Structure 1
Amino acid sequence: MHKIPEKTLYHSTYPDLRKHFWDQNPFIFRYVFLSFSDAWQLILAVGCACLFSYYFSHYSIPMDLPMVVSLVVLFIFILWIAGAYSIDISPIQELQRITLGILFFFLLIAFYFNLTVMKDERFLLFLISGWVFSVILIPFGREITRRIFSGSSLWNIPVVIFGYGPAGYEIADYLIQNSTSGLFPVIVVDRRMYDRNESPRVPLIRSADLLEHPEMVELFKAVPIAILVTGEINEEFVTMIQLEKRLRFRHLVIVSQANQIKSLWLRPYNIGEMLGYEIGQNLLGLWGKTVKRLGDLLILLLTLPVFIPVFLILCLLLKLESPRGIFRSRSIIGRNGKMIKIRLFRTSLVDRSDNLPDTDMETSARFSRQATSNPPENTPPSTRLGRFLLRSRLVTLPQWWNVAKGEMSLTGPGYLTVDSSILKEYHNLYKEVLPGINSLADCTGSQRLTAATRIHLDEYYIRNWSVWMDYYILFQSTVRTVLCKHAE
């Protein structure tokens, strides 16, 4: 038997993985944490609804401990049936299932109490307010729970990445930077025989060593999830995992580098005995654009009582801080290639946009308004209030006027400042829709996404748009605004 190679400077050919109970069963602890979060947020929402209904209608809801416990158990069961605790769903699907589960829960309560003890019309105010508070507090509670326990072995699920080319490196770097995803790479398998220039942050195994020493397969028994980058790993591993099943994982994610059209927005379509694929165009049709426009106007009307005071206070503070104007202007490309002017709050005493033209490289660097964690050298320093506006994204508040005029949308693809060549074949796709204040790329939590990745996220948004996707983007943007977690 060949001797297992020893660890080198950059590659770890035999990393020591902990095999404690909490490392092998992270799903259980995640279920427990999320269940406790949902339970406490439901109790808080019901309590707020009781106070709200008593304040406006002087109607007291009789609640005792057995009833509260029964409601909490019923609610957790409904969310479990709805699949809100599954790990193999996207954040958008999770938010959708939580919202529908909350709606079903309150409809069930309304039906039960209407048939039994409470037939007072004022009880309807309690139900509506309870539903509103729950829709806000329960997803927010989950987000706080993720941020509290992210980075802990009780929360993060071990992941092995097969392939360490550009895509594999970006995946590993993203998972390390964004611990709230709940996935943490513990092993990366690299097919190359030489070390990378960058020192990796995850133990690396040479694929050749793993193929020569089958006993090293024991390493992966403690890892429940594998990410297979097909174009960046040996074909033997694809066979071992997909066909021979010598490497078994509870969940297998395949990232294909074979074609340019990403499978994320391809839908299978049966044509007789042949299988075709339909490319999504959800936001390109009249129905999608109409629903989205009505949603923007509805949100603007509902948030007007909050928007106006905040806007006026910020204008006053900016006027007191800087002798220059309150706003700065910028021209961007809107629908059908029409140039539109947007305004942002001024964040520095000297505006970079006032004296430097937009360039193609600049568009690539700051795509979707989140360029990088390190600002360019020629960017003037922000004022104290300006840094707050950038981190809270309140700097974009004046753009709500563009939304009201129908020039922009609250959510959409990142806006463009020049006719950029980096878009290539995607340029016409951008011109079909309204640019958005908030984009899907802003919700990834990463400040280091490349321009190409942001373009793919924008294309994914356009082709797979749904009301739930907009709901998710607005929710994430609101959370980051409250926590001041946006990039500067």
Structure 2
Amino acid sequence: MGDPSPFGKWAARVTREDVGEVTTSLQRPVTGTGRNGPVRHVDSFEIQLPTTPPPNGVPRSAWAKVSRRVSRWHRPYTLILLVLDFAAAALASWVSIELFEKATAGFGDPRLFHTVTYLLLPLGWLLALWGNRAYDRRYLGIGTEEFKRVVRASVVVAASVSFIAFATVTKPSRLSVATALITALVFILILRLLARSVLHTMRRRSGHAAHRMVLVGTLPEALEVYTAVTRSPAAGLIPVAIHLTDGYAAARGIDTPVPIYAGRDVLSLVREVAGDTIAVCGSASWEPGELRRLAWQLEGSGIDLVVAPQLTDIAGPRVHIRPIEGLPLLHVEEPTLSGPALLAKNLLDRVAAGLGLLMLSPLFIAIALAIRISDPGPVFFRQPRVGHEGRTFRVWKFRTMYVDAEDRLAGLVDQNETDGMLFKIKEDPRVFPVGRFLRASSLDELPQLINVLKGEMSLVGPRPLPADDGDFLGDVRRRLLVRPGMTGLWQVSGRSDLSWDEAVRLDLYYVDNWSLAYDLSILWRTIGVVLARKGAY
């Protein structure tokens, strides 16, 4: 009688495809060294026929022992967050008491007052945060969902305090209560941001506090997911193996960054490589029902199961699950390229640009004098660029090159250090000393506030590219659906150190997923990038 598991079918398919090379043991692929680290070259291989997996599902009992998850990094991290949140709420109460003398109004007994402010109110914060799943391990360390849930918890705390004060006929100082609640929210967000920074540092430097993933699917799908999850080490997802669902023949002669397997029981493989997460990539060439059976098999194992659909560079807010008769359908909304949010973005751009030009006018004068002293000639450099919907405009920048820079360009083409539609040289001889400082500090970009005020550019968006570099063909044309920006996702992710393909990918991601909150986060990240002078030359 054959193997009843879904993986027995895979093994049979692999055996038929590679009948001349199948044995009953598994030989690890040969390890070598590649440009991006160790690679495994698949030429010869042996396949171990899978053993019979445990029955699908686990016994259901109210008294059954709940299995512990294989990945446990979140437990000490959650405990730290509990301590920090309690301390933040207690500190906020102390700040409110110190600022307002009437904070104790409504409480006759001082001991009762201190019990409420330093114990019960912080505990109330913890309960509200827990109820809003602000300690859920799926939201810790990545994305903005953790902070959104903290904000929701603050609303619950404010409503609860108001109800309790009304029900007990207590009349505390409204200003002191409001100060305590707002201060507690700010302190909690700051401490959680600091804790996340420490977590990201640990993940980048040592690989600790991360999830070890086994990717299951066809080789192209698995490699695409591998590239996506390893692009951000701070996310804490480390692929350690690939299980091919279409057999070794698909990987013959291909270098892979992690070992690959086929015809194995996935659960046994995950335990062998010390994994804690199974990532099903794309369709995985599965028959209907196999994914559900895998989920049953993992019940009680402590191993997480995630599904990576064939949707790349689509932000979470655009993806919704619509279950229909037990079938979870992914509904992908269109990018928001119009409406009230866009109107608010345009208003913010104009107001910020106008105020910025007024406040920075003394700095503009000082920079203009430095440029004229360094190299006599015009202060500003204006070049045609392609803007919104393909319209051409002239961008404003402080001049950083000698006046004969364009004439000297032909002799430097062979020294270009970037690809695509860009021309960059780290030690460009056409840049004069003051101009080199202006580029490194990004001060040469400040005159683009004029373009923002005129509506030709935005504060945040894809960088405007020169108009003489040919047509924007293929996917690159989507950059023109929004106004170009002074800063953008490209700039805060590496600037000139990125390849052209990576820069285009980031710009397209921004176009498809922009929001006002996303713009504000990019502006905040721009400050750190500018101060660190990353990728500016």
TM-score above 0.5, yes or no: yes
Question: Secondary structure of 2:31's match?
Answer: coil
Percent identity, please: 19
TM normalised by structure 1 equals 0.67
* 1:8 alignment partner in structure 2: 30
Report if aligned partners of 1:439, 1:473 keep a CA contact under 8 Å in 2.
yes
Q: 1:405 matched to which residue of 2?
A: 454
Cα gap change, 1:181/1:60 in structure 2, threshold over 3 Å: closer, same or farther?
Answer: farther
Query: Which residue of 219, 242, 256 maps to 2:310?
Result: 256
Deviation at 1:430, TM superposition (A): 3.7
Query: Match for 2:486 among 430, 437, 453?
Result: 437
- Superposed, which structure 2 residues align to 1:60-459 within 5 Å? 67-88=117-138, 91-102=143-154, 104-105=156-157, 116-119=170-173, 123=176, 126=179, 130=183, 133-134=186-187, 137-138=190-191, 140-151=193-204, 152-162=206-216, 168-169=222-223, 171-172=225-226, 175-176=229-230, 178-189=232-243, 191=248, 192-196=251-255, 204-208=258-262, 210-211=263-264, 216-219=269-272, 222-230=274-282, 235=285, 241=291, 243-245=293-295, 249-256=303-310, 265=318, 280-297=333-350, 304=355, 312=362, 316=366, 323-324=374-375, 328-344=381-397, 356=409, 365=419, 376=425, 379=428, 396-418=445-467, 421=471, 423-424=473-474, 427=477, 429-442=478-491, 451=500, 454-455=503-504, 457-459=506-508
Aligned: 1:27 with 2:49? no
Does structure 1 conserve the Cα–Cα contact (< 8 Å) formed by 2:214 and 2:279?
A: yes
1:434 is paired with a residue whose SS is coil
Distance in 1, matches of 2:221 and 2:437, equals 34
Q: Secondary structure of 1:474's match?
A: helix
What secondary structure sits across from 1:24 in the alignment?
coil
Cα separation, partners in 2 of 1:386 and 1:44, compared to 1, 3 Å: farther
Contact 1:390 1:486 in 2 (8 A): no
Q: 1:253 is paired with a residue of what secondary structure? A: strand
Give the secondary-structure state (helix, strand or coil) at the position aligned to 2:522.
helix
| Higher helix fraction (1 or 2) | 1
Change (3 A) 1:443 1:225: farther
Q: CA deviation at 1:170?
A: 6.1
Paired residues of 1:364 and 1:422 also in contact (CA < 8 A): no
C-alpha change, 1:285 and 1:320, in structure 2 (3 Å) is closer
Per-residue deviation, 1:262: 6.7
The equivalent of 1:17 in structure 2 is none
Root-mean-square deviation (Å): 5.5
The residue type paired with residue 339 of structure 1 is T
Equivalent pair of 1:269/1:276 in contact (CA under 8 Å):
yes
Greater radius of gyration (CA): 2
**Counterpart-to-counterpart distance in 1, 2:498 and 2:287:** 28
CA distance in 2, matches of 1:404, 1:124: 41
Q: 1:425 to 1:282 in 2, by over 3 A?
A: closer
> What are structure 2's unaligned runs of at least 5 residues?
1-22, 33-38, 47-67, 105-112
| Rounded Cα–Cα distance in structure 1 between residues aligned with 2:435 and 2:131 | 46
Distance verdict in 2 for CA 1:282–1:124, change over 3 Å: farther
CA distance in 2, matches of 1:412, 1:459: 10
Letter in 2 for 1:411: V
Alignment partners' CA distance in 2, 1:86 and 1:37: 16
- The total of aligned residue pairs comes to 452
Distance 1:337 1:279 in 2: 27
Cα shift at 1:456: 5.1
Contact 2:88–2:184, Cα closer than 8 Å, also in 1: no
> 1:339, CA displacement in angstroms?
1.9
CA deviation digits over 1:237-270, x for unaligned, max 9? Answer: 998656555678513131428xx99797566789
Q: Distance in 2 between matches of 1:315 and 1:143?
A: 41
Question: Does the 8 Å contact 1:331/1:342 carry over to 2?
Answer: yes
AA at the equivalent of 1:4? L
Equivalent position of 2:56 in the other structure? none
Residue 226 of structure 1: SS of its match in structure 2?
Answer: strand
1:27, 1:157 within 8 Å by CA — same for their partners in 2? no
Structure 2-normalised TM-score? 0.62
2:458–2:486 contact (8 Å) kept in structure 1: yes
Deviation at 1:183, TM superposition (A): 2.0
CA-CA distance at 1:156 after TM superposition: 1.9
Unaligned runs of 5+ in 1: 15-20
| Aligned equivalents of 1:350, 1:41: Cα separation in 2 | 57
Kindly indicate whether residue 522 of structure 2 is the aligned counterpart of residue 473 of structure 1. yes
Change (3 A) 1:436 1:263: closer
- The residue type paired with residue 194 of structure 1 is G
Q: Which amino acid aligns with 2:212?
A: P
Find the residue that maps to 2:129 and give its secondary structure: helix
Paired residue secondary structure (2:278): strand
